[in-house]
Amino acid sequence: MSFNIKEWIFTTDHKRVGVLYLIGSIAAFGVAGIAAMLMRIELSTLGPTITTNPTQYNVWLYAHGAVMILGFQIPALTGFFANYCIPLMIGAKDVAFPRVNALSVWLFYVGIILALLTFVVPDPPDVMWTGYPPYSTITTGNTALYSFTVLVLGFASIIGGVNFLTTVAYMRAPGLKWSNLNIFVWCTLGAFVLQLIFVPVLGTAVTLISFDKYLGTHFFDPSRGGDVLTYQNLFWFYSHPAVYVIFLPFIGVVYEIVATFAKNRVFNHKVVLWGGIGGIVILSGEVWVHHLYVSGMADWIRIGQMVTTLLISIPVGLLVISLAGTLYKGSITFETPMLYALGVLFLFLIGGLTGIPLALTSLTLHLSDTYYVVGHFHYVMAVAGTFAIFGGVYYWFPKITGRMYNERWGKIGFWLTFVGVNIVFWIMMTVGVKGMPRRYYDYSAFPQFESAHQWMTLGAAILGVGFLIAVANWIIGAMKGAPAGDNPWRSQSLEWTTVSPPPHGNWPSPPSVDPDWTPYSYERR
């Protein structure tokens, strides 16, 4: 196949746009991962270790948090997977607006360039990924870079969302009913609806801190009648739903993998759509105050949102039941993608259930802003989210490249990461309960935690090696893996019915499906 560089980087084809998203987000993961390793090394001894400048640590932490969420997980899930899979899964030749799609991936690159400038500009931003004023409006760090990173990435995501909602509404293959769409498609649409509703709120919030800092406004300045809590409300009004923007697509990926490797019907398909995904979309806008439990919000709203937060366990629980039920009477095999998906299934339990104590306002008066919180969200994002992304890349790898990765190294990489993440993030939660505050460059006030921190650094090294092996496996597999065939997993889903890798336009002739077809009907074969 001839390789035409401008048909790659200026592409408007959804698959190539998807691959560009993948490359960018994995690169972002690498850089943010290096920042994480630097932090872990810094924390391996009490007092200064590799830098004597606290701002240096704070900049790593800022870059790590912001890039992991905004530059890695959201783009990988709603950029790469959505782009690559949705048109193929609905039997479309491309998305509704291919040029808008190209704009979205280019803006994504602009966004990560802005984020990565953190490492080279003078006075880099040190406002943490939350960017709370008043600090963000008085720091000498470059808060504008933070604002623009968020705005550009947010805009990229919004136009992506508009594009995909339109695509699925109008471009489904003949005969493909809404209710028979892949669960991944449903999950991603849910995530896009959340993005469309809530990203603008975040955009407003970060714009206003730059206004306050550079243009002399007083949104968050109490001395002129402003209020610092306004920002926190706006920020979490988006950023809580954002965790479901991550959760929904990743659980969608897990559904595809589990159904394929169990060769089984999805348990209680309808309830997944309406109870699970629908429930999460509806509830996710009413719980943001659980991030403000110690911030001085009025008592009654803390109580109200304690209840709504707890109720989120219902739709999420329905999803977990359905995933477990999909294993029931299956015929299960354990290739690398399935190992990652099962990793999500087990470790998300830990992550999700440790959110329950945090949901209780009173327990959070002790737990908030400690390593317990850091442990909780790493279990749900860094572990469950990343495993789902890695599993998904392995799963669709033969489709994307037409080649096979190395199964043995895939498994070795998985187990190393699995061991590593549990060492790091379990210990995080335990020291957190004992009082270790987050965002500490130096924990001299808590010398008793030094050995725990050393174990965490060790665990981080192990998991880092695991991730490196996975990425190396993809690169080598893409270049010289064995030909994989069109449907190596014998999946029923539409994306596997075309050739691997799919040509421009996806199908030689556009597919159509029977009304009683579903992506998970295995027993009919």
* Site for other proteins, residues 265 to 324, rule: CB under 8 A: 265, 267-268, 270-271, 275, 286, 289, 294-308, 310-311, 313-314, 317-318, 320-321, 324
In the complex with Cu ion, the residue whose CB is nearer, 124 or 355, is 355
Interacting residues with Cu ion (CB under 5 A): 240
**Residue 473 found at the interface with other proteins (CB under 8 A):** no
DSSP states along 403-467: B---HHHHHHHHHHHHHHHHHHHHHHHHHHHTT-BSS-S--TT-GGGHHHHHHHHHHHHHHHHHH
**Residue 51 found at the interface with other proteins (CB under 8 A):** no
| CA-wise closest residue to 165 among 146, 144, 138, 192 | 192
Q: Which stretch binds other proteins (CB under 8 A): 347-355, 382-390, 407-415, 451-459?
A: 347-355
Residue 513, H or E segment: none
- Give the one entry of Cu ion, ligand HEO, ligand HEM, none that residue 460 binds, where binding means its C-beta sits below a cut-off of 5 to 8 angstroms depending on kind: ligand HEM
x/- binding map, residues 443-462, to other proteins, per CB under 8 A? xxxx----------------
Beta bridge partners, 370, equal: 437
In the complex with other proteins, the residue whose CB is nearer, 253 or 306, is 306
* Site for ligand HEO, residues 324 to 383, rule: CB under 6 A: 349, 352-353, 355-356, 358-359, 364, 368, 373, 376-377, 380-381
x/- binding map, residues 100-129, to other proteins, per CB under 8 A? x-xx--xx-xx--xx------xxx--x-x-
Buried b (16+ CB within 10 A) or exposed e, 284-296: bbbbbbbbbbeee
103 token code pair: 């704009």
**DSSP secondary structure letter of residue 49:** S
* Site for ligand HEM, residues 130 to 149, rule: CB under 6 A: 130
Q: How far is the CB of 290 from Cu ion (least distance, A)?
A: 6
> Phi and psi dihedrals of 177, rounded to 5?
-85, 155
Q: Are 413 and 466 in contact (CB under 8 A)?
A: yes
Q: Which stretch binds ligand HEM (CB under 6 A): 110-118, 126-134, 199-207, 396-404?
A: 126-134
In the complex with other proteins, the residue whose CB is nearer, 243 or 469, is 243
Q: Is the dihedral of CA 249, 254, 257, 262 positive or negative?
A: negative
**DSSP secondary structure letter of residue 385:** I
Distances (CA, A) of 386 to 42, 45, 212, 329: 24, 28, 36, 28
In the complex with ligand HEO, the residue whose CB is nearer, 221 or 369, is 369
Options 31, 102, 242, 381; binder of ligand HEM; rule CB under 6 A: 381
Q: Residue of minimal CB distance from ligand HEM? A: 65
Options 93, 366, 411, 439; binder of ligand HEM; rule CB under 6 A: 439
In the complex with other proteins, the residue whose CB is nearer, 318 or 469, is 318
Beta bridge partners, 437, equal: 370
Q: How far apart are CA 476 and CA 100, in angstroms?
A: 32
Options 1, 120, 174, 515; binder of other proteins; rule CB under 8 A: 1
Q: Are 15 and 501 in contact (CB under 8 A)?
A: yes
In the complex with other proteins, the residue whose CB is nearer, 25 or 473, is 25
Residue 395, H or E segment: helix 386-401
**Residue 291 found at the interface with ligand HEO (CB under 6 A):** yes
In the complex with ligand HEO, the residue whose CB is nearer, 77 or 469, is 77
**Residue 64 found at the interface with ligand HEO (CB under 6 A):** no
Residue 505 burial (CB count, 10 A): 12
Alpha carbon 135 to its chain centroid, in Å, reads 27
**Residue 208 found at the interface with ligand HEM (CB under 6 A):** no
Q: Are 332 and 285 in contact (CB under 8 A)?
A: no
Options 20, 156, 243, 470; binder of ligand HEO; rule CB under 6 A: 243
In the complex with ligand HEM, the residue whose CB is nearer, 337 or 385, is 385
Q: How far apart are CA 107 and CA 156, in angstroms?
A: 6
Q: How far apart are CA 16 and CA 4, in angstroms?
A: 12
| CA-wise closest residue to 85 among 183, 6, 152 | 183
**Residue 411 found at the interface with ligand HEM (CB under 6 A):** no
**Residue 411 found at the interface with other proteins (CB under 8 A):** no
Q: Which stretch binds ligand HEO (CB under 6 A): 24-32, 91-99, 204-212, 286-294?
A: 286-294
**Residue 48 found at the interface with ligand HEM (CB under 6 A):** no
Report CA dihedral (358, 363, 369, 375) to the nearest 10 degrees: -50
- Give the one entry of ligand HEO, ligand HEM, Cu ion, none that residue 145 binds, where binding means its C-beta sits below a cut-off of 5 to 8 angstroms depending on kind: none
**Amino acid, single-letter form, for residue 407:** E
Q: Are 295 and 361 in contact (CB under 8 A)?
A: no
Give 64: exposed, middle or buried? Use CB within 10 Å, 0-12, 13-18, 19+: buried
Residues within the interface to ligand HEO (CB under 6 A): 130, 243, 246-247, 290-291, 293, 309, 312-313, 316-317, 320, 349, 352-353, 355-356, 358-359, 364, 368, 373, 376-377, 380-381, 385
Residues within the interface to ligand HEM (CB under 6 A): 33, 36, 39-40, 61, 64-65, 68-69, 73, 128-130, 374, 378, 381-382, 385-386, 424, 438-440, 460, 463
